[in-house]
Amino acid sequence: MIKSRRGMSGSSSGMSRSSVCTSAMSVSFSAGTYQVLPSSAVVLQKAAAATCVPRPRGITCGCAPRTRGAAVEVTIAPDSLRRLALVVRLSAVLGAVFALLLMIPVPAAARPAVDASGSFGSPSYLPSQTFRFVLTVRTTRALENADVSFVILANSAQAKPLFEKYLVNSMAPGASRFSFSGNPRRLGMGDGIYPVVAQVTAGEYSETVRSRLVVIDPSRHGPLLLALVWNVNNTPAISPKGVYLSDATAAMVRGGASPGWLSGHFAEFAKHGKVKASFNLTPQSLEEVLGVAGGYKLREQRRVTPVRPDSRESKDAREFLTRTMQLVRDERIEIVPSPYAYPPIAEIASRGWDSDMRLQMQHGQDVVERSLRTAASPGMFAPGLTLSTGAIPALRRAGVEYTVLTYPGRADRFGSARLSTETAGNLVAFFDDEVSANLLTSPGAPRTAVSDFVGYLARVRLARGKRPTVATVVMQSSNRRRPTTPLLRELYATLASTPWVRTVTLGEAASIVEPSSDLTLPARRVDARMKSYYGAVGRARRSLAVYSSMTLNDNPVRTRLTRNLLISESAVWRQEPGGLKKGLAFADDVTRTVTSELGKISAPARETITLPGQSGKVALNISNRTRHPLIVTLGLSGRLVEFPEGTNVRFELRPGDNYVAVPIRVKTARTAPVTVKVLAGGSTLLESTIYARTTYFNRMAFLVGIILALVGLLVVVYRKAGSARRR
Q: Which residues contact 577 (CB under 8 A, 6 or more apart)?
A: none
What pLDDT is attached to residue 316?
96
pLDDT value at 722 more than 80: no
Give residue 100's pLDDT band: very low, low, confident or very high (50, 70, 90): low
**Arithmetic mean of pLDDT, 354-365:** 92
Q: Which of 514, 592, 549, 556 is nearest to 683 (CA)?
A: 549
pLDDT at 555 over 50: yes
CA distances from residue 218 to 71, 124, 509 in whole angstroms, order as listed: 103, 11, 18
**Do 537 and 569 meet the contact criterion of CB atoms below 8 Å apart?**
yes
Percent of residues, the chain, with pLDDT higher than 70: 80
The pLDDT of residue 443: 84
How far is the C-alpha of 89 from the C-alpha of 99, rounded, in Å? 15
pLDDT tens digits, residue range 440-493? 988 888 988 999 999 999 999 999 888 888 999 999 887 667 888 999 999 999
- Say which CATH topology domain 114-215 has: Immunoglobulin-like (2.60.40)
- Reported confidence tier of residue 421, pLDDT bands at 50, 70, 90: low
Alpha carbons 702 and 188: distance in angstroms, whole number: 125
Residue 52 has pLDDT above 80, yes or no: no
36 vs 702, residue with greater confidence: 702
Give the architecture (CATH level 2) of 224-245+276-282+333-519: Alpha-Beta Barrel (3.20)
pLDDT tier, 10 (very low <50, low <70, confident <90, very high otherwise): very low
Give the dihedral sign, CA 665/667/671/673.
negative
pTM: 0.74
Q: Under a CB-based contact definition with an 8 Å cutoff, are residues 212 and 229 in contact?
A: no
Confidence class for position 290, pLDDT limits 50, 70, 90? very high
pLDDT band (50, 70, 90) for residue 157: low
Write the pLDDT tens digit of every residue in 639-665.
888 888 888 888 889 999 998 888 888
Task: Round the average pLDDT of the chain to a whole number and report it.
Answer: 81
Q: Is 428 helix (H, G, I), strand (E, B) or coil?
A: strand
Select from 147, 140, 116 the least CA-distant residue to 209: 116
Domain boundaries, the chain: 1-80, 114-215, 224-245+276-282+333-519, 529-598, 601-698
pLDDT (tens digit per residue) in 239-281: 999 999 999 999 999 998 899 999 999 999 999 988 999 999 9
**65 or 460, greater pLDDT:** 460
Question: Which of these CATH numbers, 3.30.365.10, 3.30.470.20, 2.60.40.10, 2.60.40.420, describes 601-698?
Answer: 2.60.40.10
Whether 224-245+276-282+333-519 and 114-215 are alike in CATH topology: the answer is: no
More confident residue, 669 or 412: 412
Residue 380 has pLDDT above 50, yes or no: yes
Least confident interval from 170-184, 431-445, 514-528: 514-528
Q: What is the pLDDT of residue 548?
A: 93
pLDDT of residue 64: 38
* Order of strands, sheet of 648-653, starting from the edge strand that comes earlier in the sequence: 606-611, 683-694, 672-680, 630-637, 648-653
Residues 376-389, mean pLDDT to the nearest whole number:
90
184 DSSP 8-state letter: T
The predicted structure's pLDDT at residue 282: 94
